[in-house]
Amino acid sequence: MVSMRERFLITNLKGAVTPDPARAWAVDFIPDAALAVEEGHILWMGRRHDLPAEYKGAPILDGRGRWASPGFVDPHTHLLFGGDRSQEFNRRLHGATYAEIAAAGGGIKETVRATRAASVGELVAIGAERLGKFRHKGVVHLEAKTGYGLDLDTEGRLLAAYAELKSRGWSLDVTLMPGHDLPPEFAGDPDGYTRIVSEEWQPALVKRHPGVARFCDVFVERGVFTADQGRAMLESGKRLGLTPRIHADEFCSTGGAELSAQVGAASADHLMFASDEGIRAMAAAGVVPTLLPATTLFLGMKDYAPARKMIAEGCAVALASDFNPGSCACIDPLLVLRLACLQLRLTFEEALCAMTLHPARSLGHAHLGHLHPGASASFLLWDVKHPLDLVYWMGEAFLPEIAGLPR
């Protein structure tokens, strides 16, 4: 393998496909492409016969007739949790309702119990295995939340585990989310929980784990937290230097999209029931609507997010996995890409932007999500006749090679 530090060329590519960061929603398909790479970054990308003289003579990596694309960026995962909920999944198939499962101590409570019982070392091992699966499928960077501890101690252990994963070289952004649900200790008292999270826990967690979390998040939904409670937790995060993201309007409209614009959130996520005013507010404020179609599929719901309306209003829509044990036990970026085309009615080009450039922007990374000069050299090589094959042959488990990173 060629060292990523030296300058080298990748040629013999069937083509390269990439969003253009300078033009909204533009995707270029460049046949017979070549890329010049140095120090882990792309110096030049274009048609091979246009290669500038200065790059000729560099060592060559054989593209073996494959297509290059940017690596996927996943801007919404709940990476770290203990246990799983496959038994509950089958109980639902046998006809049990969410309320019955929750009354029997299942649902998110089960995950909180398992996560509270896990040591930092166990959480790191779980996280490394899952990150390996994401990378295997072409995800080169992802966002990962806390939120299955719901107490000061466990939320801190989750941050410590994320810090360890980052120190091992995994490329991820961490989001602090004690406002994921109401813990059993605060049953019936969401105002009290909002207060302790905003005034005590978040400041203490950021102080004990400086620089680990970059974002904060909260679940604004009927029966979870109101927009005002969400606002209090997000404003507390902002005072600590964190940028808000929001779980908004997943099961009904409770003003989550509007709140995301008011607090200057980087993203508002889910949005199946976002109001028209909320969509316009996100567009005006530059909030990235982040859609999670695999969750809609996993929950057996019919209402996919109104992606076309968001694009028509000028939103830079992004896609994410929402990987979590309750509503989307799925590490499969191609499934998300396919659902975006088949259910959200995005074109292939739009879906590619939403899997790469737009999530990278919502996470503040100009070097991810495209193949133009300055981009990270951790791009994907696909053994396909054309990138459209990734969606069209919808049952195929295409696996990319990630240039510069081990599989």
Residues that bind Zn ion (CB under 5 A): 322
Cβ proximity to Zn ion: between 66 and 245 the closer is 245
Instruction: Give the Cα separation of 130 and 126 in Å (integer).
Output: 6
Instruction: Compute the least distance from the CB of residue 67 to Zn ion, in Å.
Output: 31
Nearest-5° Cα angle at 169, 166 to 170: 65
Cβ proximity to Zn ion: between 46 and 230 the closer is 230
Residue 31 β-bridge partners: 15
DSSP codes, 294-363 = HHHHHTT-S----HHHHHHTT---EE---BBTTTB----HHHHHHHHHHTS---HHHHHHHHTHHHHHHT
Phi, psi angles (nearest 5°) of residue 288 = -90, 110
Instruction: Compute the least distance from the CB of residue 178 to Zn ion, in Å.
Output: 14
| C-alpha dihedral sign at 49, 50, 52, 58 | negative
Cβ proximity to Zn ion: between 179 and 306 the closer is 179
Instruction: Compute the least distance from the CB of residue 75 to Zn ion, in Å.
Output: 11
Instruction: Give the Cα separation of 407 and 388 in Å (integer).
Output: 23
Instruction: Give the Cα separation of 304 and 274 in Å (integer).
Output: 11
Instruction: Compute the least distance from the CB of residue 320 to Zn ion, in Å.
Output: 8
Instruction: Compute the least distance from the CB of residue 142 to Zn ion, in Å.
Output: 13
Residue 7 in contact with residue 36, Cβ under 8 Å? Answer: yes
Instruction: Compute the least distance from the CB of residue 125 to Zn ion, in Å.
Output: 22
Cβ proximity to Zn ion: between 46 and 359 the closer is 359
The gap between the terminal CA atoms of the chain, to the nearest Å, is: 13
Position closest to Zn ion via CB: 322
Cβ proximity to Zn ion: between 28 and 322 the closer is 322
Instruction: Compute the least distance from the CB of residue 147 to Zn ion, in Å.
Output: 8
Q: Name the token pair of 283.
A: 């567009």
Cβ proximity to Zn ion: between 77 and 376 the closer is 77
Cβ proximity to Zn ion: between 221 and 322 the closer is 322
Give which of 292, 293, 297, 259 is closest to 278, Cα–Cα: 259
Q: Name the token pair of 42.
A: 């792309």
Cβ proximity to Zn ion: between 144 and 357 the closer is 144
Cβ proximity to Zn ion: between 258 and 269 the closer is 269
Give which of 326, 286, 330, 331 is closest to 180, Cα–Cα: 326
Cβ proximity to Zn ion: between 88 and 322 the closer is 322
Instruction: Compute the least distance from the CB of residue 30 to Zn ion, in Å.
Output: 35
Instruction: Compute the least distance from the CB of residue 61 to Zn ion, in Å.
Output: 38
Torsion from C-alpha of 226, 227, 233, 237, nearest 10 degrees: 160
Instruction: Compute the least distance from the CB of residue 17 to Zn ion, in Å.
Output: 29
Cβ proximity to Zn ion: between 81 and 201 the closer is 81
Instruction: Give the Cα separation of 68 and 352 in Å (integer).
Output: 13
Cβ within 8 Å of residue 313, ≥6 positions away: 279, 280, 282, 283
Residue 57 in contact with residue 51, Cβ under 8 Å? Answer: no
* 3-class state of residue 30 by DSSP: strand
DSSP codes, 224-291 = SB-HHHHHHHHHHHHHTTPEEEEEESSSS-SSHHHHHHHTT-SEEEE-TT--HHHHHHHHHHT-EEEE
Instruction: Compute the least distance from the CB of residue 266 to Zn ion, in Å.
Output: 15
